Chain A
Amino acid sequence: MRSVRKYGTVLRISLENAFAYRSTAVGGLLFYSLFIFVFFNLWRAIYQGGEVAGYSLTQMVWYLCITELIVFACRSSVFAQMNEDVKSGNISYQLNRPYHYVLYQFFNALGGMTFNLFLYGALAIVLGLVMVGPIPGFRLHNLPFILLSGVLGMVINFFLLMTLGLTAFRLEENTAFYFLYQKLVFMLGMFIPVEFLPPWLQGIARWLPFSYVAWAPGRLFVAFSWDFFWQVIPVQLAWAGVAVSLAFVMYNFGIRGLQAHGG
């Protein structure tokens, strides 16, 4: 119980921080709007008529609003923070504090991510409605299930980024991993739905975690079906489990080799 209260306090403080830095939020909203506007124009030009890979223009624009929402909401400095803590040695100051480092980082980022989810979510709805109107056949009562998929996507993303950040324990320079990971998430789901990929690549993408960050919730939002829901949720749960475990393993492995010298 005390543990729950402890991490609850960390979450509350990070949420208060998110509310305090309003100018950062305004900047983010502007960038989000710009991206959606550019891609709306691009997809409008691509869709000269009919559907592409089963998506109508309306679905495609809403798909982008949702996938960008997840990526923007997921934005946290976890990779940079891990790198900084490990390379500067700050992590040694956190070892004797009454919390687990990995859980602290997660709850510390959760406040900002929750704040972003609601903030960008409101903007996504406004932009989607203004640009293409409502999605035909959308049912509000499906929203909690879509939200569950979105949250799982955010968990997968956060802990995979944390794992990559923690490679700093063993590698001096690990930024290339970050670039690679980011682009895989972008290209296997955020910018392009998996259905747009060539069949051979679709097969590979459906086995990898990257598509389950943005594609799964995006697809559920624009074309909800229980078949698809039961198809992706177990995979998302499995990848979330793998990502969390990897972060803990990487932390425990790294901390074993840590040497602190006063100061």
Chain B
Amino acid sequence: MGALKDLGKTLRLIGLYFKVNLASAMEYRGSFWLQAFGMALSNGSFVFFWWIAFQQIGGSIGGYDFKDVMFIWAVTSSAFGAANIFFANMNGITRIIINGELDTFLLQPKDVLISLLCAKTSLGAWGDLGYGVILMALTQGPSKMAWGMFIAGVIVGGLLMTAVAVTAHSLTFYFGDAALIGGMVQEFVLNFSLYPVGIYRGFVRVLMYTVIPAFFMVHLPLKLVRDFSWSGLIALLGVCIVYCSFAYWFFYRGLKKYESGNLVITRI
């Protein structure tokens, strides 16, 4: 009961941050729409790449046909968008720790990690989120299973992307500047999610099931669309809970090593 109450409080806090961030973004409507449009356009160009690739060979690539590839692109794009709308600071954790800007969050009476992650939003991320929805509508039709797994993939994928970033950037507490590792990990997440799982072999496959759980972000939801099973859905949710809990624990364990730089800053 207590855990549920805590979860409710956390969700309320995330909701409040979201409202404030959205209101702030809407102050610059022109910039907001332009960035969102630019991002959607940028993603859209890859549909062209895949169209050409499938035209050249026909059939399937790495076990996926064109529709499957569009599904993983839609889930990855929207999950990335959702993560960066709600938790845009996930990619700035290293910078915030190194600059000593974490002090501001430590003084707040709410969960430090949640406040830190939610304190910023990305305007372009709305383009990613919208692009995924449009791609789904254009390529998957009204299939309830496809849309259900899309929503599950966006939520799980978004949370896992955030958890991976938090874990990677938390290495800064332990070993110093981890910005490069954080950036690389994000690239790995995207590249393992955006291409058919069948093109990878050996060690990369192991990575996709463990440290960089791209398989659970997009490929398992696709598998469930093709052949639904409750055990698959439970595995999807289980991995998400375990990884997010680990990231949370790893951040707070590292936080104990943090030393304030007595930096005085103002957050408006």
The residues of A with any CB-CB pair to B shorter than 8 Å are: 23, 26-27, 30-31, 34-35, 38, 41-42, 44-46, 48, 52-53, 172-173, 175-176, 179-180, 182-183, 186-187, 191-192, 196-198
Contacts and interface: CB of A to CB of B under 8 A. Distances in A.
B142 interface: no
A30 B52 CA distance: 28
A255 B231 CA distance: 65
A176 B61 contact: no
Contact of A192 (B39, B49, B57, B191): B49
Contacts of A53: 56
Contacts of A173: 30-31, 34
Nearest to A173: B34
Contacts of A27: 180, 183-184
B184 A31 contact: yes
Contacts, number: 73
Given A41-B199, A41-B200, A175-B38, A30 B184 contact: yes
A191 B49 CA distance: 8
Interface residues of B, number: 32
Contacts of A41: 195, 199-201, 204
A41 B178 CA distance: 28
B41 A179 contact: yes
A191 B51 CA distance: 13
A30 B180 contact: yes
B195 A42 contact: yes
A57 B188 CA distance: 24
B42 A179 contact: yes
A203 to B, nearest CB: 15
Nearest to B127: A179
B55 A198 contact: yes
A176 B38 contact: yes
Given A38-B191, A198-B55, 10 more contacts: A38-B195, A41-B199, A45-B61, A46-B56, A52-B57, A175-B34, A179-B38, A187-B48, A197-B52, A198-B52
Q: Top 5 A-B pairs ranked by shortest CB distance?
A: A183-B45, A45-B199, A179-B38, A41-B199, A45-B62
B150 interface: no
Given A173-B30, A176-B38, A187-B45, A23 B61 contact: no
Contacts of A172: 30
Contacts of A31: 183-184, 187
25 contacts: A27-B183, A27-B184, A30-B184, A34-B188, A41-B199, A41-B204, A42-B62, A42-B199, A45-B198, A46-B53, A46-B56, A46-B57, A46-B61, A173-B31, A173-B34, A175-B35, A176-B34, A176-B38, A176-B41, A179-B41, A187-B48, A187-B49, A192-B53, A196-B52, A196-B56
B17 interface: no
A184 to B, nearest CB: 8
A34 B191 contact: yes
A213 to B, nearest CB: 15
A192 B56 CA distance: 11
Contacts of B180: 23, 26-27, 30
Interface in B191-211: 191, 195-196, 198-201, 204
B37 interface: yes
Most B CB contacts (10 A, CB to CB) among A23, A42, A53 go to A42
